[in-house]
Amino acid sequence: MKKSSLFVVSLLAVSITLSSAGFAGRKQLGNDVVWVKRSATYKCCVQQAYLNGMNRLRDLVKDKKPGTWCVVLDADETVISNVIYQMAGLAYSKKSWNDWCKQAAAPALPGAKEFCALAQELGGKVIILTNRQGDLKEVTEKNLRKIDFPYDILLLREGPYAKDRTKVMRREAIRKGTVKTLPAGVKLPPLEIAMLAGDQTHDLYDSYKLNFEDIKERFGRDFIILPNPMYGDWASPPMYADPGIIRARLPSRKKPSSGDARPAPGVISWQEAMDKVGENVVVETEIVSVYDPASRGKGGPVKLNTSRDWNEGLTIILFNKDGSFGDPDRFNGKKVRASGKIGTYHDAVQLTIGAPDDIEIVEE
Ligand SMILES: [Mg+2]
């Protein structure tokens, strides 16, 4: 047997051994989970966030009376890590999530215990404010006790706060001293929230009302944000690959002259369309985000948003039940021209498109 044939045979033997050991067909984890599980940079980011937070906390509370203030931290991916659950590679389900939580096996994230211990030492209460539901109260407490986590109050999404996904109600109750889900015999006076920590924007502020621009200074003051590439509100609706995206940005591409950039006569901007309720209009606008309920297994119209703050902008509505508009995500990030009637739904102003021909992409 030639040397090269021997090499091939040996490679084959190695691959057969690996296959029989169970490597074949194993699902490769995404870079998001691998980064959190394996990289030093993830740990460094978390440690850095808490160390910086500790420095700011000392300064922020130096003139505050002990017992009058607190720090509010989210639980998952903020003070404890669930990367082991993510490593199972399962699609999220309440059952698989609850099964994992019941193990009470989530370890503390770097720096989190030190930050909370410092807050207590400086005279503050540590409140863990989580969107875990009430049925996970005992196991969550058990988990925190197991890792010796320094905290005072655990507030879950339960009872009168069952729908408080934004955490706004519970933060308000903390400030007013009216929390309704405290353990028997425990009282909490009105507390100033000195700092907040979380891996989602709603852990820190009312993300339905405020934009990044409104709160960006607070990341150097009373906000601590932790990285979480594995899940979050930002993950939906899905984004799709766009093979033309680089070609479309090549400098050789003919750029529209300033004259071309102006909408054609009779075509108006979305801002102008906001004042045309009841009228038929032609609008030219960039689509900044697309909400397609079908991609979440839900019914209802597709919404094309013209403003990041979708409450404030014009929403273009398509009824895409039969799929005649194609994949709505193709409009995402594109300039479109759309014609239809302006109406309102609750307080939102909408342009409803009747047929696929009534909307076209005018600029890639
Ligand atoms: Mg979280």
CA angle 204–172–194, rounded 5-degree value: 55
Determine the distance separating the centroid of ligand 1 and the alpha carbon of 74, expressed in angstroms. Answer: 6
pLDDT of residue 351: 92
pLDDT of residue 355: 83
Determine the distance separating the centroid of ligand 1 and the alpha carbon of 30, expressed in angstroms. Answer: 19
Q: Per the domain annotation, does 275 fall within a domain?
A: yes
pLDDT of residue 16: 40
Q: Do 38 and 165 belong to one domain?
A: yes
Determine the distance separating the centroid of ligand 1 and the alpha carbon of 109, expressed in angstroms. Answer: 12
pLDDT of residue 173: 98
CB-based contact 356:278 (threshold 8 Å): no
Instruction: Read off the pLDDT of residues 315-360 as tens digits, 9 standing for 90 and up.
Output: 999 988 778 888 888 899 899 999 888 888 877 889 988 888 889 8
Q: Which residue reads 């009534």 in tokens?
A: 358
Give the residue from 214, 235, 256 where a domain finishes. Answer: 235
Determine the distance separating the centroid of ligand 1 and the alpha carbon of 344, expressed in angstroms. Answer: 35
Determine the distance separating the centroid of ligand 1 and the alpha carbon of 199, expressed in angstroms. Answer: 5
Determine the distance separating the centroid of ligand 1 and the alpha carbon of 107, expressed in angstroms. Answer: 14
Q: Do 205 and 267 belong to one domain?
A: no
Determine the distance separating the centroid of ligand 1 and the alpha carbon of 144, expressed in angstroms. Answer: 15
Task: Give how many domains the chain has, as a whole number.
Answer: 2
CA angle 276–277–281, rounded 5-degree value: 50
Determine the distance separating the centroid of ligand 1 and the alpha carbon of 184, expressed in angstroms. Answer: 26
Q: Cα–Cα distance between 155 and 27 in angstroms, integer? A: 36
What angle do the packed helices 40-60 and 31-38 form, to 10 degrees?
70
Determine the distance separating the centroid of ligand 1 and the alpha carbon of 217, expressed in angstroms. Answer: 22
Q: Per the domain annotation, does 23 fall within a domain?
A: no
Q: Do 209 and 105 belong to one domain?
A: yes
Q: Do 222 and 100 belong to one domain?
A: yes
Determine the distance separating the centroid of ligand 1 and the alpha carbon of 157, expressed in angstroms. Answer: 13
Determine the distance separating the centroid of ligand 1 and the alpha carbon of 49, expressed in angstroms. Answer: 15
Determine the distance separating the centroid of ligand 1 and the alpha carbon of 63, expressed in angstroms. Answer: 30
pLDDT of residue 230: 97
Q: Cα–Cα distance between 248 and 364 in angstroms, integer? A: 7
In Å, how far are 89, 186, 244, 255, 287 from 249, measured between CA atoms? Answer: 36, 60, 9, 10, 18
Q: What is the pLDDT along the chain (364 residues), one digit of tens a residue?
A: 444 444 444 444 434 444 444 556 688 999 999 999 999 999 999 999 999 999 999 999 999 999 999 999 999 999 999 999 999 998 889 999 999 999 999 999 999 999 999 999 999 999 999 999 999 999 999 999 999 999 999 999 999 999 999 999 999 999 999 999 999 999 999 999 999 999 999 999 998 899 999 999 999 999 999 999 999 988 887 788 887 777 776 765 444 444 444 555 678 888 888 888 888 888 999 998 898 888 888 888 899 999 877 778 899 999 887 788 888 888 998 999 998 888 888 778 899 888 888 898 887 7
Determine the distance separating the centroid of ligand 1 and the alpha carbon of 298, expressed in angstroms. Answer: 25
**What CATH number has the domain bearing residue 351?**
2.40.50.140
Q: Do 77 and 156 belong to one domain?
A: yes
Q: Per the domain annotation, does 45 fall within a domain?
A: yes
Determine the distance separating the centroid of ligand 1 and the alpha carbon of 132, expressed in angstroms. Answer: 9
Determine the distance separating the centroid of ligand 1 and the alpha carbon of 198, expressed in angstroms. Answer: 6
Q: Do 81 and 189 belong to one domain?
A: yes
129 contact partners, CB below 8 Å, separation of at least 6: 72, 73, 74, 155, 167, 170, 171, 174, 203
Q: Do 330 and 195 belong to one domain?
A: no
pLDDT of residue 7: 42
Neighbours of ion ligand 1 (CB under 5 A): 74, 76-77, 199
The CA dihedral of 42, 46, 51, 55, to the nearest 10 degrees, is 130
pLDDT of residue 176: 98
Determine the distance separating the centroid of ligand 1 and the alpha carbon of 75, expressed in angstroms. Answer: 6
Q: Per the domain annotation, does 18 fall within a domain?
A: no
CB-based contact 39:227 (threshold 8 Å): no
CB-based contact 97:76 (threshold 8 Å): no
Determine the distance separating the centroid of ligand 1 and the alpha carbon of 204, expressed in angstroms. Answer: 11
Determine the distance separating the centroid of ligand 1 and the alpha carbon of 97, expressed in angstroms. Answer: 13
Determine the distance separating the centroid of ligand 1 and the alpha carbon of 190, expressed in angstroms. Answer: 25
Determine the distance separating the centroid of ligand 1 and the alpha carbon of 234, expressed in angstroms. Answer: 13
Determine the distance separating the centroid of ligand 1 and the alpha carbon of 29, expressed in angstroms. Answer: 20
Determine the distance separating the centroid of ligand 1 and the alpha carbon of 140, expressed in angstroms. Answer: 13
Determine the distance separating the centroid of ligand 1 and the alpha carbon of 40, expressed in angstroms. Answer: 20
Q: Do 219 and 255 belong to one domain?
A: no
Q: Cα–Cα distance between 43 and 35 in angstroms, integer? A: 10
Q: Per the domain annotation, does 7 fall within a domain?
A: no
3-class secondary structure, 13: helix
Q: Domain span at residue 257?
A: 247-363
Determine the distance separating the centroid of ligand 1 and the alpha carbon of 81, expressed in angstroms. Answer: 9
Q: Cα–Cα distance between 252 and 225 in angstroms, integer? A: 41
3-class secondary structure, 121: helix
Q: Cα–Cα distance between 308 and 287 in angstroms, integer? A: 9
